[in-house]
Chain A
Amino acid sequence: MNPLLALLIKASAIYGGLLGTAALMTLAERKISAWMQYRVGPGGILQPLADGVKFIFKEELVPDGANRWIFRLAPLMAAMPAMMTVAVIPFAGDVSLFGVDFGPLSITDLDIGVLYVLAIGGLGVYGIILGGWASNSKYSLLGGLRASAQMVSYELSMILTILAVIAVTGALDLRAIVAAQDSLFGWNIWTQPLAFVLFVIATFAETNRHPFDFAECEPELVGGFHTEYSSMKFALFFLGEYCAMIVMACLTVTLFLGGPAVPFIPDAPWFLGLAAFAVKAGFFLFLFIWVRWTLPRFRFDQLMGLGWKVFLPLALANLLVTGAMVSLF
Chain B
Amino acid sequence: MSETQIFEYKSGLDPEQLDADDPLHGELMRLNIGPQHPATHGVLRLKVTLDGETLESCEPVVGYLHRGKEKSCESLGWRKFFPHTDRLDYVQPFLNNVAYALALEKLAGIQVPQRAQEIRVLLMELSRISAHLIYLGTTAIDLGAITMFFFTFTEREKIYTLLDAYSGHRMNNTYVRMGGLYADLESDLVAEIRVWVDSFPEKLDEFDSMLTANRIWHDRNAGVGALTKEEALAWSLTGPNLRASGVEWDLRKDMPYSGYEDYDFDVPVGTTGDSFDRYLVRMEEMRQSVRLCRQALDRLEKSTGSDWLLDDRRYVLPPRGRTHESMEELIFQFKVVTDMSLPKGEAYHAVESSKGELGFFVASDGTSDPLRCHIRAPGLMNVQAIPLLAKGRLLSDLMAIIGGLDFVMGEVDR
Residues of A in contact with B (beta carbons under 8 Å apart): 33, 36-39, 138-139, 142, 145-146, 210-211, 213-214, 217-220, 222, 293-302
B396 at the A interface (CB under 8 A)? yes
B43-59 Cβ-contact flags toward A at 8 Å (1 or 0): 00000001011000000
A39 and B150 contact, CB distance less than 8 A:
yes
- Rounded to whole Å, the gap between the CB of A139 and the closest CB of chain B is 8
CB of B286, distance to nearest CB on chain A (Å): 19
CA distance A300 to B52 in the complex (A): 12
Q: Which residue of B lies closest to A37 (CB)?
A: B150
B345: min CB distance to chain A, Å: 47
Inter-chain contact total with CB atoms closer than 8 Å = 81
Cβ–Cβ contact B399 & A37, under 8 A? no
Cα A214 to Cα B395 with chains together (Å): 11
Let me know if B219 and A302 touch, CB within 8 A: yes
- What is the bound-complex CA distance between A302 and B144, given in angstroms? 14
Contacts of A218 in B (CB 8 A): 38
A74 to chain B, nearest CB (A): 21
Q: Please, how many angstroms separate the alpha-carbon atoms of A326 and B296 in the complex?
A: 71
The interface bits of chain B over 365-408 (1 if a CB of A lies within 8 angstroms of the residue's CB, else 0) are 00000000000000000000000000000111111000000000
- Give me 15 other A-B pairs in contact (C-beta within 8 A), A301-B53, A301-B394 excluded: A36-B147, A38-B151, A142-B53, A145-B53, A217-B144, A219-B39, A220-B39, A220-B398, A296-B144, A297-B216, A299-B394, A300-B53, A300-B396, A302-B216, A302-B219
A147 to chain B, nearest CB (A): 13
Segment at the interface with A among B116-124, B135-143, B350-358:
B135-143
User: Which residues 17-63 in B have Cβ within 8 Å of A in the complex?
Assistant: 29, 31, 37-39, 50, 52-53
Q: Which residues of A contact B154 (CB under 8 A)?
A: 38
CB distance from B410 to the nearest CB of A (A): 20
B396 touches A295 (CB 8 A): no
Minimum C-beta distance from A69 to chain B (A) = 24
User: Does B189 lie at the interface of the complex (its beta carbon under 8 Å from any beta carbon of A)?
Assistant: no
Q: Give the Cβ gap from B207 to chain A, nearest Cβ, in Å.
A: 13
Which residue of chain A lies nearest to B398 when distances are taken between CB atoms in the complex? A220
Point out the residues of chain B lying under 8 angstroms from A300, CB to CB. 53, 394, 396
> Could you list 6 examples of A-B contacts with CB < 8 Å?
A36-B147, A145-B53, A219-B39, A220-B398, A295-B144, A298-B219
Among all A-B residue pairs, the 7 with the closest Cβ atoms? A297-B144, A37-B150, A219-B39, A296-B145, A219-B142, A299-B396, A296-B143
Closest Cβ of chain A to B393, distance in Å, is 10
Q: Is B220 an interface residue (CB 8 A)?
A: yes
B150, A219: Cβ atoms under 8 Å?
Answer: no
Q: Tell me the complex Cα distance, A70–B145, Å.
A: 33
User: Does residue B235 face the partner (Cβ distance < 8 Å to A)?
Assistant: no
> Do most interface residues of chain A lie in helix, strand or loop, or is the interface mixed?
loop
**Do A38 and B396 have beta carbons less than 8 Å apart?**
no
Mask of B216-257 contacts with A, CB within 8 angstroms, 1/0: 110110000000000000000000000000000000000000
Smallest beta-carbon distance A208→chain B, Å: 13
Q: CA A210 – CA B143 in complex, angstroms?
A: 11
Are A299 and B217 in contact, CB atoms less than 8 angstroms apart? Answer: no
B2 within 8 A of A: no
- Verify if B214 is at the interface (C-beta below 8 Å from A): yes
Assembled-state Cα–Cα distance A217/B394 (Å) = 14
Taking the closest CB of chain B, its distance from the CB of A215, in whole angstroms, is 13
CB distance from A42 to the nearest CB of B (A): 16
B402 closest partner in A (C-beta) = A219
Q: Are A293 and B146 within 8 A (Cβ)?
A: yes
Q: A138-B29, A142-B53 are in contact. Are A211 and B399 (CB under 8 A)?
A: no
Partner of A296, one of B140, B150, B395: B140
Would B394 and A219 count as touching, CB distance under 8 A?
no
A138-B31, A219-B143, A219-B144 as given contacts; A211 in contact with B216, CB under 8 Å:
yes
A301 CA to B52 CA, complexed, in Å: 12
Shortest Cβ gap from B248 to chain A (Å) = 30
Chain A contacts for B50, CB-based, 8 A? 142
Nearest CB in chain A to that of B145: its residue: A296
Q: How far is the CA of A43 from the CA of B252 in the complex (A)?
A: 49
CB nearest neighbor in B for A298: B216
Closest to B396 in A: A299
Question: Are A294 and B399 interface neighbours, CB within 8 A?
Answer: no
B39 and A293 contacting across the interface, CB-CB below 8 Å? no
Max count, chain A CB within 10 A of own CB: residue among B140, B219, B397 = B219
A148 to chain B, nearest CB (A): 12
A37 touching B53, Cβ below 8 Å: no
- Which partner residue on chain A sits nearest B39 by CB separation? A219
A213 proximity list for chain B (CB < 8 A): 144
Residue of A nearest to B218 (CB): A296
Chain B 268-307 against A: per-residue CB contact (8 Å), 1 yes, 0 no?
0000000000000000000000000000000000000000
Are the CB atoms of B38 and A295 closer together than 8 Å?
no
Residues of chain A within 8 A (CB-CB) of B141 are 219
Question: Is there contact, CB below 8 Å, between A37 and B396?
Answer: no
The minimal Cβ–Cβ distance linking A58 to chain B, given in whole angstroms, is 20
- Chain A residues within an 8 Å CB radius of B395: 142, 220
Do B399 and A293 touch (CB < 8 A)? Answer: no
Which of these, B211, B214, B399, contacts A219 with CB under 8 Å? B399
B150 & A295 in contact (Cβ 8 Å cutoff): no
| Cβ–Cβ < 8 Å partners of A39 in chain B | 150
Min CB distance A287 to B, Å, is 15
Query: Which one, B37, B147, B397, contacts A37 given CB within 8 A?
Result: B147
B138 to chain A, nearest CB (A): 10
Contact A210 B150 (CB under 8 A): no
Indicate if the CB atoms of B147 and A33 lie closer than 8 Å: yes
Q: Within the complex, which residue of A211, A217, A299 is in contact with B397, where a contact is CB–CB below 8 Å?
A: A299
